[in-house]
Chain A
């Protein structure tokens, strides 16, 4: 008899109702229930459809530029004096981040489902840009909701979306950031459910989104796994990725979950410091609850009200996290840690100067944790970091921190 301890993770999670253990599920208003079942059916049908897969593979190769390379950061490795540091170069993707892996997949699905209008929420604007990009290409109407605070700090991406033909709607409610954009996108979807496809940008939302977005992003980990074995002859010792909603992290982690010797670190935004309460680290400092369609760790008060988050990086500024990360935390398969705004900013400069790669502020959180971890490891060990995006969009924020404007 098979030992139950040996039950394969991939066969177990999620269950048929989108539950990752006690997390996940379908917590939406009745009006959307039909739509999420419709999406689930379409996704189940096409995910094994060779024609769909072929079209997606072609787009990922010719339009996005995959596979993205892994890069041995020799200077950083030398300076930190520990593990060999490899970067998975999602920053080299068309549109500048991992987000496009997912929007390609969802847009092809939207097309097959006969939807004519696409909506999305965005924080840093990377998902909005990636969505506007695929919508432009498929000739679909595109509306992107963005917290009014993020519209200001990511002005360049707002303009990019507009150039691509998307309508960007600033959301003034609540904390005027990513969670409010998600609320507003859900409200739009309820209202226009017949013709509209909602492209969620991370592994959040009701089932099937967390599983579907993970599948689309898992190309990161599948490629990286074989690339790193090719380069080093073995599996990496540790993986590091930043966590906003958790899509780039789960994309990297998922293909390694059954490789038990690979240690995984998800890095949340500690903002001004966990102890100040001004952060966006629900896995490090939150409690389980229900928001945006699933049960997961949340930043909330004792009455179940969602509290305002803070991170220097708009893409991490979210009070929840994908339900699969909640499970991975509880079962101890992944470790969740956090770094502050200041540490991330320092890592931003470190990578820029040592390797000539300007990382996104989100990805800088992963770099910052690597700067702590690598020196504790030996030179035979290999550390693989997901460089989820490039920093072009963050020029204003970084310059402003240095007292400059342009």
Chain B
């Protein structure tokens, strides 16, 4: 069983919702990424999403665009991201890591070279924002042969027919984008999310994560009512942006934010 499946299974047994923080690798400085990841795990993160910096992040709002720009200023690209995972795995062999990014850096490295290296360093999943199932036939085969789970997005605009298609190829978990928009834009509508969760559950037994509109403990807790995992990105990255000149404090500060969300989600989980 993959590290991701195992993680969700265990949380389910414990009656807990997964907390999944996202940061962009190398933002604001390369050395601080791995310490931030460890600190977030210590504070209650269950699964980590690490963004691969890209020059043209078309699905991201200004917060994550700027994070990419800061990371790219430090020349952080896919090969460095993989090396950060390697470093992280020196101390943590349990927490699953999903890389999230755009197709072109993967194309440039080559799917096979990427998958091989990703497996070696301990990457568990890959979410390629701009590669829908239609374009991913070869990609899926190669990732599968290296035990990398292929995570796909489902959006509010996804038809039931497409949900079926996505459910067929997705591995690890399915990521529901809770808003029409780019990362960090609007706030989510919980009743709409819960409707979509129900439709998805009829089509897949994979765990369901929700992200894109979660800003604080309160919205995280609300989502935990209907989802198996809560993804928090722009809120954390905004914090990183505000303290980009003071990276030493970031591991502790982000741990604080994660702990607060963990707390809110736990309180809700206990009440179930």
A residues in contact (CB < 8 Å) with B: 17, 25-35, 173-174, 179-180, 183, 186-187, 190-194, 288-293, 295, 298, 300, 302-307
Contacts and interface: CB of A to CB of B under 8 A. Distances in A.
20 contacts: A27-B130, A29-B129, A29-B130, A29-B153, A30-B155, A30-B158, A30-B177, A33-B134, A33-B157, A34-B157, A34-B162, A174-B55, A180-B56, A183-B56, A183-B57, A191-B181, A291-B56, A304-B77, A304-B104, A305-B55
A272 B26 CA distance: 33
B78 A303 contact: yes
Residue of A289, A303, A307 with highest tally of chain B CB at under 10 A: A303
Residue of A29, A174, A192 with highest tally of chain B CB at under 10 A: A29
Interface of B: 53-62, 65, 69, 72, 77-79, 102-109, 129-132, 134-135, 152-159, 162, 166, 177, 180-182, 185
B130 A290 contact: yes
B269 to A, nearest CB: 28
Contacts of B159: 34
Nearest to A187: B182
Given A34-B162, A183-B58, A289 B132 contact: no
Contact of B104 (A31, A32, A33, A306): A306
B180 to A, nearest CB: 6
A289 B107 contact: yes
A57 to B, nearest CB: 34
Contact of A190 (B54, B55, B59, B77): B59
A305 B105 contact: yes
A193 B157 contact: yes
Given A31-B156, A190-B180, A304 B58 contact: no
Contacts of A306: 55-56, 104
Given A191-B181, A290-B130, A305-B72, A27 B56 contact: no
A305 B77 contact: yes
A50 to B, nearest CB: 30
Contacts of A32: 157
Contacts of B65: 173
A303 B59 contact: no
A298 B65 CA distance: 20
A288 B152 CA distance: 24
A292 B152 contact: no
A193 B180 contact: yes
A156 B72 CA distance: 34
B108 A190 contact: no
A45 B173 CA distance: 37
Nearest to A305: B55
A29 B156 CA distance: 12
Contacts of B103: 27, 290
A203 to B, nearest CB: 18
B108 A31 contact: no
Which 6 A-B pairs have CB atoms at the shortest separation, nearest pair first?
A304-B108, A303-B77, A304-B105, A31-B155, A30-B153, A290-B103
A23 B103 CA distance: 14
A406 B102 CA distance: 44
B134 A187 contact: no
B133 to A, nearest CB: 9
A288 B131 CA distance: 16
B131 A27 contact: yes
Nearest to B134: A26
B145 to A, nearest CB: 21
B154 A30 contact: yes
A194 B156 CA distance: 11
Contacts of A183: 56-58
B158 A34 contact: yes
B104 A291 contact: yes
Contacts of A29: 58-59, 129-130, 153, 155
Contacts of A186: 58-59
A120 B65 CA distance: 21
Contacts of B59: 29, 31, 186-187, 190
B158 A33 contact: yes
A303 B102 CA distance: 12
A27 B58 CA distance: 11
B104 A289 contact: yes
Given A290-B130, A300-B104, 14 more contacts: A26-B135, A28-B132, A29-B155, A30-B158, A31-B153, A183-B58, A190-B182, A191-B180, A193-B180, A290-B104, A292-B58, A303-B108, A304-B106, A306-B56
A305 B26 CA distance: 15
Contacts of A25: 134-135
A26 B166 CA distance: 15
A26 B132 contact: yes
A304 B153 CA distance: 22
B61 A187 contact: yes
B54 A305 contact: yes
Contacts of A290: 102-104, 107, 130-131
A17 B72 CA distance: 33
A31 B55 contact: no
A191 B152 CA distance: 19
A223 B31 CA distance: 61
Nearest to B212: A31
Contacts of A190: 59, 180-182
A26 B133 CA distance: 10
Given A34-B162, A291-B56, A191 B105 contact: no
B54 A33 contact: no
B105 A303 contact: yes
Contacts of B54: 304-305
Contacts of B58: 28-29, 183, 186-187, 292
A290 B201 CA distance: 32
A190 B180 CA distance: 6
Residue of A289, A291, A300 with highest tally of chain B CB at under 10 A: A291
